[in-house]
Structure 1
Amino acid sequence: MQTACANSVSSHKTAVDSSNTKSTLLVEKKSFTTQNFQTFGGKTIEKVSVGWESYGNLSTEKDNVILITHYFTGNSHAAGKYQQSDNAAGYWDAIIGPGKAIDTDRFFVISVDSLANLGAHNPNVITTGPASTNPKTGKPYGLDFPVLTIRDFVNIQKQVLESLGISKLYAVVGPSMGSMQALDWAIAYPNWVERMVSVIGASEADAWTSAKLEHWATPIKLDKNWQQGDYYSSQGPLDGLVASLMLITQDALYPDFFNQVGNDINFKALEAAALEDIRQSPSIINWLRARAQARAESMDANHLLYLVRACQLYIAGHQGDLNNALAKVKAKTLFLPAATDLLLMPYNLESTHQMLLDNGKDSELSILPGTLGHLEGVTGISKHGTLIQSFLNK
C-alpha cells in the first residue's frame, strides 16, 4: 500500500525578487508514505515516509521527468525557495529552473529526501530512519532500524514516481551520494532510464573510500553520549556529531580553497591563543568547528552512521560484479568527476566510463576543473551547467 500527498504535479510558482529582478521558483515540500517497505537486506519497515519536491510541469505523456538524487548531507531541496524571504535557494538552483541547464520550462524535475536523511530534525525534511518512532515499541528505533543501502534510496524514489503515474525517466542526475543512486538506477531499472549523469561520483566504495568514510563515523561512536545509539531520551552525542561534520567539510574541500579561507580570517601558524593554552584552538579550527556546530543542530548522529554504512556497502548494481552490472545499462551516460576531488577521486569514474565503453555503451566523461575539491560539483556547479545541458539535449 502506498499513498502520496499530492493533488497536482504542477509544482511551482515563479516570483520576482525585487532586490535583483531575477525570477525565483517557489516550491512546496510534499510527503509520500508507504507500508511494509522491503529493504535490500531483506528486512521490513512497517511504515516509511519521505519528503519530495518538484519543479516544472509534468507533460501529458509523462515523458519529461528528470530525477535529481541528492548528496550525503543534502535533501530534496535542489532548487527554488519555500518562501521568497529564505536566505538561500536549493543547492543546485544555479542549474535548475526556467531557462537554466535543467530547464523547468521543459522538464518536470523531482527530488526525494533519502531514508535516514541526515537532516532528521530539519522541519523541511521528511524521512524515516533511526530517529523515527518504532511502531512496535513506541520509542525511536535507534540501532534497531535496518541497515540501508543505496538501492533502498532508489527503490523509495521509484515508489514516489509510480504514485504519480511515472514509469520513465528522461534523465536521472545527481552529485556525490546522489551519483551513486543515479548509476544504480540505470542498472537496477534500465528500461526506466534514458540518460544518466554522475557528478563527483563513484561506481563503488573501494577499500580506500570505505576506510575514509569510517573516519566520519568514529567520533560519534567514541562520544560517551552515543550510548550505542540509545540517546533519544537524554543528551545526544553532539560533540561527536560536530567532529564528524568537521571531517566531512574538510574532506569535501581542496587545500587551495581551505588555505584561502585561512587567509580571509587571518590564520597564522603561530597564534598567541594556541601558544599560550593547549585548550585553545587555532583560528582555522574555530572556523571549521563553528560551521559544523551550526549544521549539527538539525542533524541526527545515528542517521549519519546509517548513511556512512549505505555508502560503504555501495557497488553499482548491488550484485558484487561491477562489469556485469554495467553491461545492463541502456542509458546514455555522462560522468563528471572533479579534478581536485580528494574524496571521490576521478580514477573511480574513469575506470567505470572505460568499462561502459568496453561493453559498447554510449558513455562520455569530462573532468571538471576548479579548486573547490569535491564541492566543485555542488557549490561550483554553475560553471559546468553547459556540459549537463548539452548532454540533456542529445
Structure 2
Amino acid sequence: MTRLWTIVISVTVLIISLPINAEQWVEKRSFTMDSYTTHGGETIKDVKVGWEAYGTLNEAKDNVILITHFFSGNSHAAGKYSEDDKQAGYWDAIIGPGKAIDTNKYYVISVDSLVNAYPNLPSVITTGPASINPATGQPYGLDFPIVTIRDFVNVQKALLEDLGVRQLHAVVGASMGSLQAIEWAAAYPDWVERMVSVIGAGSLDAWTIMGLEHWARAIRLDPNWNGGDYYDSKAPLEGVTMAQAMITQGAMHPTYINQVAPQQETLPEKALESVTNELPAVEWLYGASRARAPLADANHILYLVRANQLFVAGHQETLKQGLKNISAKTLFLPSSNDLLLMPYLAEKTAGQLKEMGKDVQYEEIDGPWGHLNGLFSIQQKAKLLSEFLATE
C-alpha cells in the first residue's frame, strides 16, 4: 500500500499522527452511568463512554482542560497506548509536556462521545444504536433516543463530577468538538473559564445542514440499511463507504487533494469500458473509505449527523439567545479555506459575542488542508493557544 493510500485511510477517521517531541503513554479508561436522561427527556440505561487523561490532577482540581473531539474522532487526543502504536493521538503536537497545552501544568481529559461513529474500533467505548438495549437484549437500532451536542456535554460533566472536578480551566475542541466546547460555555458558564473553538461554529446554517444530510442519505439509500435494522444481517457498508468518502473530501481542500490523488490520464481505458468502473482519483478515495467502513456503524453516523444538524449554542431558539450566558474568555481559530465548516460561521459567532461585550479573540489558521488545518496545521497557533490558556 502506498504512502498516499495510507494517508487517505487515516484521514477517513481523521487520526493522522502529528510530529511529537517525546513519547507520552496513555491508558483508555471507561466511565459508566446506570442511566442517563437525554436533553429530550428519554432515558438510556447502562451508558458507557471511554476517556483518557494526560498530566496530573492537582489537589484543588482546578487545572483541568477538557478536549472535545471531532465527528469521526474519539478521545485519543494525544500520546500512545503502547510502543507498538504507529500513530499518536490527533493533537499530540500541542498536548504534552512543554507543549501549547502543557501537561506539566494541566490535567487534560478527553471523552468518547455518545453514538461515536466508530464503535468497532477496539479503542472506542461508546453507547449508541449498536449497543445492546437492556430491555430487549438486542441492539437498539433506531429505538435509541435522538441525542444532541448537549447530551455529549452532559455525559462529560457527569464524568468530571465523578472525579470531583467542578471547574474547567478551559474547554478546547475542533470541528464537532468546537460545538461541544461552546455548548459547555453556554450551558454551564460557571464551569468554564476559557473556551477555544477550532474549525467550528456557534450554530449550523441551512447550507451546512444540507451538506451533512448528504452523508446520511448515502447510508439510508443502501438497501442493506433496512430501516436501521441490520445487526443480524448484512451491514450497509456501501452506504458507509460513500458517507466516509464524502466526509473525507469535504474535510480536505482541492489544493491538497490535487497534490496527492492520482491525476486523470487522457481517456482512462477502464473508464471507457464501463460507466461502473471507477476513475483513478475516485478509486483512490473510495478504496480507502471502503477499507475503513467495517470499523464504523451506519446508525451511529446517522445519529451523529442529526446531533450536529440540530446544533445551536445553548440550545436556544436563536444563536444570540444561546450565547448570552457565556462568561468565558473565548478564542476562535477557523481555517481560512475550510469548505466544510466555513470560516464565516465562526466569524458570525465571534461577532455576536463581541457585540455583547464578551472577551473574544479571533484568528484564522492557514494551510493546504482546508477543514483539516484544524488538526494538521494547528501548531502555527501553538504560541497563541499557550498564551490564551495562561491569561488571567
What TM-score range do you get, normalising by the shorter chain? over 0.9
Q: What amino acid is aligned across from residue 288 of structure 2 in structure 1?
A: R
Q: What amino acid is aligned across from residue 388 of structure 1 in structure 2?
A: L
Residue in structure 1 matched with residue 13 of structure 2 by the alignment? none
Equivalent position SS for 2:315: coil
Residue in structure 1 matched with residue 353 of structure 2 by the alignment? 356
Q: Bigger shift: 292-301 or 213-222? A: 292-301
Q: What amino acid is aligned across from residue 393 of structure 1 in structure 2?
A: A
Q: How many angstroms does 1:316 deviate by?
A: 0.3
Residue in structure 2 matched with residue 59 of structure 1 by the alignment? 58
Residue in structure 1 matched with residue 74 of structure 2 by the alignment? 75
Structure 1: how far apart are the matches of 2:227 and 2:290?
22
Residue in structure 1 matched with residue 188 of structure 2 by the alignment? 189
Poorly superposed stretches of 4+, deviation over 4 Å: none
TM-score by length of structure 1 reads 0.93
Q: How many angstroms does 1:266 deviate by?
A: 4.1
Question: Structure 1 377/22 Cα, relative in aligned 2: closer, same or farther at 3 Å?
Answer: closer
**Contact map agreement 2:365 2:378 (CA 8 A) in 1:** no
Residue in structure 1 matched with residue 96 of structure 2 by the alignment? 97
Amino-acid identity (%): 56
* 2:301 counterpart of 1:307: no
Residue in structure 2 matched with residue 381 of structure 1 by the alignment? 378
**What stretches of structure 1 of length at least 5 have no aligned partner?**
1-19
Report 1:98-137 matches (<5 A).
98-137=97-136
Structure 1: how far apart are the matches of 2:39 and 2:222?
30
Q: How many angstroms does 1:380 deviate by?
A: 2.4
Equivalent position SS for 1:46: strand
**Contact map agreement 2:365 2:380 (CA 8 A) in 1:** no
Residue in structure 2 matched with residue 146 of structure 1 by the alignment? 145
Residue in structure 2 matched with residue 285 of structure 1 by the alignment? 282
Q: What amino acid is aligned across from residue 380 of structure 2 in structure 1?
A: K
* 2:324 counterpart of 1:335: no
Report 1:14-93 matches (<5 A).
22-93=21-92
Residue in structure 2 matched with residue 160 of structure 1 by the alignment? 159
Question: Structure 1 108/85 Cα, relative in aligned 2: closer, same or farther at 3 Å?
Answer: same
CA distances 1:257-282 after superposition (whole Å, capped 9, x unpaired): 111113xx344353222123322211
**Contact map agreement 2:20 2:92 (CA 8 A) in 1:** no
Q: How many angstroms does 1:298 deviate by?
A: 1.1
Residue in structure 2 matched with residue 218 of structure 1 by the alignment? 217
The RMSD of aligned alpha carbons is 1.3
Structure 2: how far apart are the matches of 1:269 and 1:380?
34
Q: What amino acid is aligned across from residue 333 of structure 2 in structure 1?
A: L
Structure 2: how far apart are the matches of 1:278 and 1:235?
26
CA distances 1:16-75 after superposition (whole Å, capped 9, x unpaired): xxxx99421111000000122010111000220000000000011111100000000000
Q: What amino acid is aligned across from residue 37 of structure 1 in structure 2?
A: Y
Structure 2: how far apart are the matches of 1:356 and 1:22?
37
Structure 2: how far apart are the matches of 1:279 and 1:327?
53
Structure with the larger helix share:
2
* 2:269 counterpart of 1:272: yes
Q: How many angstroms does 1:382 deviate by?
A: 2.4
Equivalent position SS for 2:108: strand
Structure 2: how far apart are the matches of 1:233 and 1:97?
43
Structure 2: how far apart are the matches of 1:87 and 1:199?
25
Residue in structure 2 matched with residue 392 of structure 1 by the alignment? 389
Q: How many angstroms does 1:85 deviate by?
A: 1.4
Structure 2: how far apart are the matches of 1:364 and 1:383?
16
Residue in structure 2 matched with residue 322 of structure 1 by the alignment? 319
Structure 2: how far apart are the matches of 1:367 and 1:201?
11
Residue in structure 1 matched with residue 366 of structure 2 by the alignment? 369
Q: How many angstroms does 1:374 deviate by?
A: 0.4
Residue in structure 1 matched with residue 3 of structure 2 by the alignment? none
Structure 2: how far apart are the matches of 1:93 and 1:224?
40
**What stretches of structure 2 of length at least 5 have no aligned partner?**
1-18
Aligned residues: 373
**Contact map agreement 2:20 2:93 (CA 8 A) in 1:** no
Structure 1: how far apart are the matches of 2:266 and 2:377?
29
Question: Structure 1 103/309 Cα, relative in aligned 2: closer, same or farther at 3 Å?
Answer: same
Structure 2: how far apart are the matches of 1:22 and 1:172?
24
**Contact map agreement 2:241 2:286 (CA 8 A) in 1:** yes
Structure 2: how far apart are the matches of 1:335 and 1:104?
22
Q: How many angstroms does 1:325 deviate by?
A: 1.9
Structure 1: how far apart are the matches of 2:112 and 2:46?
15
